[in-house]
Structure 1
Amino acid sequence: MTTIDKPIMIIGAGIAGVHAAETLRNEGYEGRIVLVDRDTQLPYDRPPLSKEFMLGESSETDISLRSVESLTALRIELKLGVRIVSIDAEKQIAISSDGEIMEWGKLLLTTGSSLRKLQVNGSDLEGIHYLKTLSDAIAIRQKLDGIQQIVIVGAGFIGAELASSFKRLGKEVTVLEHAPLPLARILGDEMGDYFLQLHQSEGVHVITEDSVVQFDGTNQVEKALTKKGRVIPCQAVIVGIGVIPNTFLSDKGLHVDRGYIVNEFGETSLPNVYAAGDCAMWPFRGTNIHIEHWDHAVNHGKCVAKNMLGGDSNAYTTIPYFWSDQYDHRLQYFGHTKNWEATVLRGNMVDKQFTHFYLNASGVVEAALLVNQPKNALAVRRLIKQQQPVDPDLLSNPEVNLKKVHIQAKEDKVSN
């Protein structure tokens, strides 16, 4: 294992940063580990914010990633409320907003992402919220008792999960989406229509192909006005229109294209500087991609931490995965694709239990959406990982075990 005289510094104490720090210790690293974050709160888990925490089913303690005691036991120096404003790779230093200079031997950037902001007239009124942090979630939850009508701007996964949570709390929910169908950019029109009907069947008013142009109210938001002339009464608005990777730290020679560009080992274009999680653009099957989900942050952080210690480097090849809970639906998505050639449905959408496969022109499974079928997860991962053409008839037949589809594809590879 490489000996590092100066500390390993990790900037960002979110999912990727915390798991990277723990991995360094678990791999036997004995040197100093400094974990820095501009937030003043202890590291916490974000997925429950739109679901269990919003519903009051979990507390701040429940969603805490690690306690001070557990980090102290691992000799991880946690510095909260410290905003790093610049780094110098040549001098191997980081400078905080109050002028403190911190030395490092190796640096890991796990700076996460920030929310896109909606800039329209009235967007500064009270009652207009964003959900990214624990503070955001607390602020929303504290106001819910006095709110009956809520507008959600954006029908992405956060917007959809909040719509589900608010309906469970008995609120009147309107979702505004500028695209023709929710989630269609990721899941396609057929699945977009499925989720549109799902939310409508639960009593959510979903408005597509329209957007907010103004919020009205004296001090508190009272209504949302849309491009097509709709006037929607509301006492609260939640905006969820996507995120932007945090790449505010720069240094000459540090390559950035939406996120910090890293190779398969997590190395940036600067020596001894790495990046992982939401802030990184990493290579996946010939192209650089950006993933904003919990599973990726955990696995990328762990993999890159191991590579920082020297020795045999391990390429990051984990199949992307994310999940979402909406009403009585557990959604699981494996893989990554934007330009599929064909889709194959296995199961019945009416029964709310099915798997929707996305195939490329060669008949290879690139991604899959599982709806209330967690038992298919392992087989789906294998199908995506093997990158071999499959028989669509076998794939669509629920009577054929998915393991057999996987085996058949392997045998076809051997025979060819």
Structure 2
Amino acid sequence: MSDADTTVIVGAGIAGVHAAESLRKEGYQGRIVLLDSDSQMPYDRPPLSKEWITGEMDEANILLRDPETYERLDIDLKLGVEVTAIDPVRKTIDTKDGSSYAWDKLMLATGSKLRTLSIEGDDLQGIFYLRQMADAIAMKQHMQHVKEAVIIGAGFIGAELASSLKQLGIDVTIVERSAYPMENVVGRRVSEYFLDLHRSNGVDVITNDSVTQFNGDAMVEEAVTAGGRRIPCQAVIIGVGVTPNTEVSHPQIHIDGGYTVNEYGETSVPDIYAAGDCTSWPYNGIPVHVEHWDHAVNHAKTVAKNILQPQSAPYTYTPYFWSDQHGSRFQYFGHAKEWAQTVLRGSIEANAFTYFYLDEQHIVKAAFICNQPKNALPARRMIQQQKAVDPEALADESMALKKVQRSLA
């Protein structure tokens, strides 16, 4: 690429910022334009449900980079800009304010958007979705006067928020429509562990039920469920998941569970790339979509290399995410929609264990780790090696997990 080239990145979240920064670190001398519809300086979203809400992190510390970094790297950061159209022939994008940007390479790093619910009374004050900094600021201010809160959805965001609000001394009720939250991700046994963890920490978790109505005058005062429960509350947080944000698009860009990209981050249109939460990408030959901080960073860095040197760096990442709840650290490696066998190493009762998900050939597809960080590296390597393991050895704590992993090499 020549020094006169322009790379435009749509989305200044985790993936977009790391892609822009990586382009410079890899030696790109052309112009970099980083666009985002949010008017806030680019910030880190995961802490919004944890350190930000509890006051352990302030607005300055939550920024992905300080403003001077964009100037030093000569990144043209434009905030409050909404992209309305892509023209892959003219190689331009248009924005809502009437501006047009020419590009030689275009990266879509648009992240994800919230799933929303339509519930009677959801226009009352005190009902929140948590996605952007503005949501977090409004929620944090409101929570100063809250004694009871309801969280709809027991996924990882809802669970983290429950832990954070309990830390602030707020009585929390989670309402989850399924019988076992996150069972499709972690399985029944670990799901039961999560239920016990929250209940033992004073969180009232209601399963097999859903909120159908909010009551109150101007402010929410009560949530009513389909099962007839009436839950007093002065705040409600709705966390029922996200979907890939693919609104910035063109008919020629293939979308299926996100922008469909190959192992180099290329979309179906030449010179248009995509990275992060908004994509569907090949993992072990199967298209997957994950919404993890670690994936967004590593995918963006890899795609940046391929923008500079096309098809030079295939993406060979093992999915990983973590969550902090009630003083425990959870880590998950791999990606398993289904499994033939599970193996427990450690003790669920002692709150220190690693739970492995194996296929029919005894190959480790994923691992869930609770308060055993030393198991992270060998577990990740087992997943990467894709070789059969002895389930008995995997469960035997007298044998170091590193030794089990090395025996596969």
- State the distance in 1 between where 2:214 and 2:310 align: 56
- State the distance in 1 between where 2:100 and 2:131 align: 29
1:237 corresponds to which residue?
236
Correspondence list, 1:366-385, <5 A: 366-385=365-384
1:181 corresponds to which residue?
180
**Structure 2, unpaired ranges of 5+:** none
Cα-to-partner distance string for 1:320-348 (whole Å, 9 max, x where unaligned): 00000001210000000011111000001
Aligned-partner SS, 2:199? helix
Q: Which amino acid aligns with 2:34?
A: L
Q: Verify: 1:206 aligned to 2:205, yes or no.
A: yes
Aligned-partner SS, 1:3? coil
Cα-to-partner distance string for 1:108-127 (whole Å, 9 max, x where unaligned): 00001111111111111111
2:145 corresponds to which residue?
146
**How much has 1:104 moved relative to structure 2?**
0.5
**How much has 1:407 moved relative to structure 2?**
2.1
Q: Are the equivalent residues in 2 in contact too, given 1:4–1:105 (CA < 8 A)?
A: no
2:32 corresponds to which residue?
33
Greater CA drift, 73-82 or 283-292: 283-292
**How much has 1:286 moved relative to structure 2?**
2.6
**How much has 1:173 moved relative to structure 2?**
0.4
- State the distance in 1 between where 2:251 and 2:117 align: 31
1:220 corresponds to which residue?
219
**Structure 1, unpaired ranges of 5+:** 411-416
Aligned-partner SS, 1:119? coil
Cα-to-partner distance string for 1:197-253 (whole Å, 9 max, x where unaligned): 000000100000000111111111111111111111111000000001111112131
Correspondence list, 1:25-104, <5 A: 25-104=24-103
2:284 corresponds to which residue?
285
2:318 corresponds to which residue?
319
Displaced runs of 4 or more, over 4 A: none
2:128 corresponds to which residue?
129
Q: Which amino acid aligns with 1:7?
A: T
Q: Are the equivalent residues in 1 in contact too, given 2:264–2:311 (CA < 8 A)?
A: no
CA pair 108-252 structure 1, distance change in 2 beyond 3 A:
same
CA pair 203-105 structure 1, distance change in 2 beyond 3 A:
same
Correspondence list, 1:401-416, <5 A: 401-410=400-409
Q: Are the equivalent residues in 1 in contact too, given 2:160–2:325 (CA < 8 A)?
A: yes
**How much has 1:383 moved relative to structure 2?**
0.4
- State the distance in 2 between where 1:189 and 1:9 align: 44
**How much has 1:68 moved relative to structure 2?**
1.5
Q: Which amino acid aligns with 2:394?
A: L
Aligned-partner SS, 1:108? strand
Cα-to-partner distance string for 1:138-158 (whole Å, 9 max, x where unaligned): 111101121101000000000
Aligned-partner SS, 1:251? coil
- State the distance in 2 between where 1:403 and 1:146 align: 49
- Number of equivalenced pairs: 409
Q: Are the equivalent residues in 2 in contact too, given 1:155–1:176 (CA < 8 A)?
A: yes
**How much has 1:4 moved relative to structure 2?**
6.3
Aligned-partner SS, 2:407? helix
2:119 corresponds to which residue?
120
**How much has 1:293 moved relative to structure 2?**
1.1
Q: Which amino acid aligns with 1:165?
A: S
Aligned-partner SS, 1:324? strand
- State the distance in 2 between where 1:213 and 1:176 align: 11
Q: Are the equivalent residues in 1 in contact too, given 2:51–2:57 (CA < 8 A)?
A: yes
2:168 corresponds to which residue?
169
Aligned-partner SS, 1:356? strand
Q: Are the equivalent residues in 2 in contact too, given 1:5–1:105 (CA < 8 A)?
A: no
User: What do you get for the CA RMSD once the two structures are aligned?
Assistant: 1.0
- TM-score normalised to the size of structure 1? 0.97
Q: Are the equivalent residues in 2 in contact too, given 1:35–1:79 (CA < 8 A)?
A: yes
- State the distance in 1 between where 2:404 and 2:205 align: 38
**How much has 1:15 moved relative to structure 2?**
0.3
Q: Are the equivalent residues in 2 in contact too, given 1:6–1:103 (CA < 8 A)?
A: no
Q: Which amino acid aligns with 2:7?
A: I
1:361 corresponds to which residue?
360
**How much has 1:311 moved relative to structure 2?**
5.1
Q: Are the equivalent residues in 2 in contact too, given 1:355–1:368 (CA < 8 A)?
A: yes
Cα-to-partner distance string for 1:263-288 (whole Å, 9 max, x where unaligned): 11100000100000011111112321
Cα-to-partner distance string for 1:171-195 (whole Å, 9 max, x where unaligned): 1100000110122121000000000
- TM-score normalised to the size of structure 2? 0.99
1:297 corresponds to which residue?
296
Cα-to-partner distance string for 1:88-136 (whole Å, 9 max, x where unaligned): 1111000000111110000000001111111111111111001111111
